[in-house]
Structure 1
Amino acid sequence: MTYLRVRRLAMAADLLREPDATLAAVADRVGFATPSPSVPRSRGARHRPQ
């Protein structure tokens, strides 16, 4: 299960680099049921206002 979570977080981090990406859209795309603040935090990113 850890492998899948790590892969999803890596994919989410890549998708969040897009200028128009929202946390909710990325979470949905990578398979998280709800947006999780741990997605960007796990990669050292800071919150970006929408």
Structure 2
Amino acid sequence: MNHYKLASMVPEKMIEKYDEYLPEALLDEGFGRRAFDIDGTLRWVGQVKALVVQ
């Protein structure tokens, strides 16, 4: 899963002033990058997993 795919599932992505003029694919890309930190989440899950396994 990546930020683009996650954002494509969000029904309302228009946040910025001119978002209404952008195509859906560009909205998905921008919203996904702003709203989701996939790499950070995976690092956090790895850290929690390491604590639980100990």
TM-score relative to the length of structure 1: 0.28
Relative to total residues, which structure has the larger helix share, 1 or 2?
A: 2
Larger relative contact order (C-alpha < 8 A, sep ≥ 6)? Answer: 2
